[in-house]
Structure 1
Amino acid sequence: MKIVLWGTYDTGKPRVRLLRDGIRKNGLELIECHANVWDGIEDKSQIKGIFSKLGLMARLLCSYPQLIWRYLHLPAHDLVLVSYPGLFDVLVIRCFAWLRRVPVAWDVFISAYDTVIDDRRMFGARHPVAQALWGLEWLALRAANRVFMDTKAHAKRLETLFHLHEGECGAVWVGVETEKFSIAQTLLPRPLKPLQVLFYGQFIPLHGIEHIVEAARLLSHEEIDWILIGKGQETSRIRAMLAEQPLPRMHWHEWADYQDLINWIRQADICLGIFGTSEKAANVIPNKVFQIIAAQKPLITRDSPAIRELLQHCPPCVSLIPAGNPRALADMVQQQADIVMSRKESSCHSDLAKKIDAPAIGAQFHAWLVGKQNFKIDHDD
């Protein structure tokens, strides 16, 4: 099978790289037809100012004529794959793939409407921007012949939001670049040092960072160092919380290079996932959960249908707590601290780590694709 990965997909996102590499590692031929318009943009919601937004839109629109020209001169192929963020890409490529009688699959990965309106609450549901965004995404979903998300729970959420048929949206995990996040475990005793709890990620409502701050406050009498790495929509709010009631043992770094994250994970005794209370938070498994599992470190995260999809395969070192509950988080950190401080380093998540690398993700995609091979271009639609 020959697949064309087409569009302005963001290669800075592990999701895109893992899907691309996993497809190739499963013996499928992949041709890339790509324009890089997202270089240097880590959080798309934080693009501020009318000129920045207009500049990005101009780069996006100017990339399409060349991409279309290149696509029309590609050799025969069996599928066009649009990856994240493909909201505009899938609308643009639809008619040109139709002309070549090639179906289009869209890795939605993140619903723009669900993220902006429900999770980050940047506009009310009745705001014209919200309605326009919903309509645009509704149209894009129907422009693709098949769509998929990152978890089954997230796929069901998308079907509900945009009135798709049950089972119409597939699921392929995000996975992890294991070559970057593996940690060689030893049987040496733990070094004598204060317990270190690590959170890293964008400061967005999905992560529930305020609950981490409150949990740290509940355990302020303990010898625990809390490390926060990140910034984003919630930066001002978290800064105000810490200014009002400082936490001397909480250390905040607004940025760490992707390649340096493994060092932070290696130094940590316990790593934190997400604790937000939104519908989206219940339906996703973020990059860092897979990364922490690959690095074989104890993980505390919110209980959700999505995380249980992953954990049903084996019992790794993941502690689940109710969403939005600082007291439960503090109690679990204390419980895990007692275990960490009394044991030697040992293998953690080892069985599960083998199921979330690039080849495994590519195999998931291939299995989904094979199951959907009967979809064809209907020139009467």
Structure 2
Amino acid sequence: MKIVLWGTYDTGKPRVRLLREGLRRNGFELIECHANVWEGIEDKSQISGGHQKLGLLLRWLGCYPLLIWRYCRLPAHDLVLINYPGLLDVLLIRCFAWCRRVPVAWDVFISAYDTVVEDRKMISHRHPLARLLWGVEWLALRAADIIFMDTQTHAKRIETLFHLREDTCGAVWVGAETEKFSPPRNTESNSASHAALQILFYGQFIPLHGIGYIIEAARLLRDAEVDWLLIGKGQEAARIREMLADDPLPRVRWIEWVAYSDLIHNIADADICLGIFGTSEKAASVIPNKVFQIVMAQKPLITRDSAAIRELLDECPPCTYLIPAGDAQALADAIERHITIKRDDREIVCHDGLVDKIDAAAIGTQFRALIDNKGKY
């Protein structure tokens, strides 16, 4: 089967790279018709300054005439796949793909309306821009022949939010890049060189991650032998900085950025890694990149319980602790449980049976099952 990857998809996102590699490993022939307008932009909601926004907008819109011209000259193919972020892409390619009698699949992955309005609350749902965004996304979801999210729970949420028929939206997991997140070989465990428990959080500082609850848990455990490393920046960074300034926590270390290729070393050095703790409906609907990466690295994990996470993991200490959302005390309690388990000083290797279910090949297999189920071929 020949698939065209078309549009302005962001190759800086693991989701995009994993799906692309998964398709190749499953025997799909790929043709890329791509304009890389997102290079160097980690968090699209944090683009600031009139000149930066205008420059990105002009670069983004300006690439489409060439992309469409290139598409019309492509050889025959069986499917057009729009990767994230593809809100405008799917609307623009729809009529051209229709003229060639080719179906369009859209990896929605992150709903722009849900993220900006419902989850991060950057504008009110009554704001005209919010209504416009909802309308554009409503239309885009109906322009594609196949749409999918990252979890079944997230797919159901999108169906509800945009009034889609039941089972319209499918799901393909994010997965993790084996070459970047497999446990390093021939390295000593962090527990062998540190008496204190080493806890790692990394990710964008956004409400979905619930970093404030991590700080509160650190306060509850301020007298325990626990060291905390936070890696990230974003929307909530100022609030977290203020929390730490008001009540300093010497055992909490915060660095804003680590090279993606170096993350595995931070994960390997941790005794336990943290997922997400936000209380929003979106937080209950996703399995974030880092959870898959932590599972691939075979490290213990604490994250919020939800229907989405249960698609991948069950409560299974000392490897998986699923706690109520927005509950700093529950997070502190889980850490204390892990301290007790760690006292036997044995190396904990986790999630061994899941590694082959979340690599690129497995993600490609999920995509094949999705399109077969939709009956487009």
**TM-score bin, normalised by smaller chain:** over 0.9
Candidates 195, 213, 217, aligned match of 1:211: 213
**Counterpart-to-counterpart distance in 1, 2:310 and 2:107:** 22
**Counterpart-to-counterpart distance in 1, 2:53 and 2:70:** 26
Identity %: 69
Could you state the TM-score of these two structures normalised by the residue count of structure 1?
A: 0.96
* Alignment map for 1:21-170 (pairs within 5 Å): 21-170=21-170
CA shift in 2, pair 1:347/1:366, >3 Å: same
Q: What per-residue deviation string (whole Å, max 9, x for no partner) do you get for residues 317-362 of structure 1?
A: 2110000000000010111122123232142101011100000000
**Counterpart-to-counterpart distance in 2, 1:313 and 1:177:** 24
Q: Which residue of 2 aligns with 1:262?
A: 264
**Counterpart-to-counterpart distance in 1, 2:108 and 2:316:** 28
Shift of 1:218: 0.2
Contact 1:14 1:176 in 2 (8 A): yes
Local SS of the residue matching 1:176: coil
Letter in 2 for 1:76: A
Shift of 1:373: 2.6
Residues 61-70 or 183-192, more deviating: 183-192
Local SS of the residue matching 2:257: coil
**Counterpart-to-counterpart distance in 2, 1:314 and 1:72:** 52
**Counterpart-to-counterpart distance in 2, 1:203 and 1:309:** 25
Shift of 1:50: 1.9
Shift of 1:315: 8.9
Letter in 1 for 2:312: L
Contact 1:185 1:347 in 2 (8 A): no
Q: What per-residue deviation string (whole Å, max 9, x for no partner) do you get for residues 272-316 of structure 1?
A: 000000000000000000000000100000000100011269999
Could you state the TM-score of these two structures normalised by the residue count of structure 2?
A: 0.97
Q: Which residue of 2 aligns with 1:199?
A: 201
Q: Which residue of 1 aligns with 2:311?
A: 309
**Counterpart-to-counterpart distance in 1, 2:253 and 2:318:** 28
Q: Which residue of 2 aligns with 1:180?
A: 180
Contact 1:187 1:345 in 2 (8 A): no
CA shift in 2, pair 1:255/1:188, >3 Å: closer
Q: What per-residue deviation string (whole Å, max 9, x for no partner) do you get for residues 108-137 of structure 1?
A: 000000000011000111111110110010
Letter in 1 for 2:292: F
Contact 2:155 2:169 in 1 (8 A): yes
Contact 2:314 2:322 in 1 (8 A): no
Stretches of structure 2 that go unaligned for 5 or more consecutive residues are none
Contact 1:226 1:249 in 2 (8 A): yes
Letter in 2 for 1:336: H
Contact 1:186 1:345 in 2 (8 A): no
* Alignment map for 1:318-329 (pairs within 5 Å): 318-329=320-331
Local SS of the residue matching 2:176: coil
**Counterpart-to-counterpart distance in 2, 1:243 and 1:360:** 45
Contact 1:175 1:361 in 2 (8 A): yes
List structure 1 runs of 4+ shifted beyond 6 angstroms. Answer: 185-189, 313-316
Local SS of the residue matching 1:222: coil
Candidates 259, 275, 278, aligned match of 2:277: 275
**Counterpart-to-counterpart distance in 1, 2:254 and 2:318:** 28
CA shift in 2, pair 1:365/1:317, >3 Å: same
Local SS of the residue matching 1:231: coil
Q: Which residue of 2 aligns with 1:378?
A: none
Shift of 1:374: 3.4
Contact 2:203 2:233 in 1 (8 A): yes
Q: Which residue of 1 aligns with 2:353?
A: 351
Shift of 1:363: 0.2
**Counterpart-to-counterpart distance in 2, 1:28 and 1:315:** 39
* Alignment map for 1:295-306 (pairs within 5 Å): 295-306=297-308
Letter in 2 for 1:219: L
**Counterpart-to-counterpart distance in 2, 1:78 and 1:2:** 5
**Counterpart-to-counterpart distance in 2, 1:50 and 1:136:** 23
Shift of 1:87: 0.4
Contact 1:274 1:281 in 2 (8 A): yes
**Counterpart-to-counterpart distance in 1, 2:9 and 2:193:** 45
Contact 2:33 2:70 in 1 (8 A): yes
Q: What per-residue deviation string (whole Å, max 9, x for no partner) do you get for residues 21-44 of structure 1?
A: 000100111111100000000000
* Alignment map for 1:10-21 (pairs within 5 Å): 10-21=10-21
Local SS of the residue matching 1:282: coil
**Counterpart-to-counterpart distance in 2, 1:155 and 1:260:** 32
Local SS of the residue matching 2:63: helix
CA shift in 2, pair 1:315/1:219, >3 Å: closer
Stretches of structure 1 that go unaligned for 5 or more consecutive residues are 376-381
**Counterpart-to-counterpart distance in 2, 1:297 and 1:176:** 14
CA shift in 2, pair 1:316/1:340, >3 Å: closer
Report how many residues are paired: 375
CA shift in 2, pair 1:141/1:90, >3 Å: same
Residues 119-128 or 311-320, more deviating: 311-320
**Counterpart-to-counterpart distance in 2, 1:361 and 1:192:** 37
Contact 2:120 2:207 in 1 (8 A): yes
Greater RCO, 1 or 2 (C-alpha within 8 Å, sep 6+)? 1
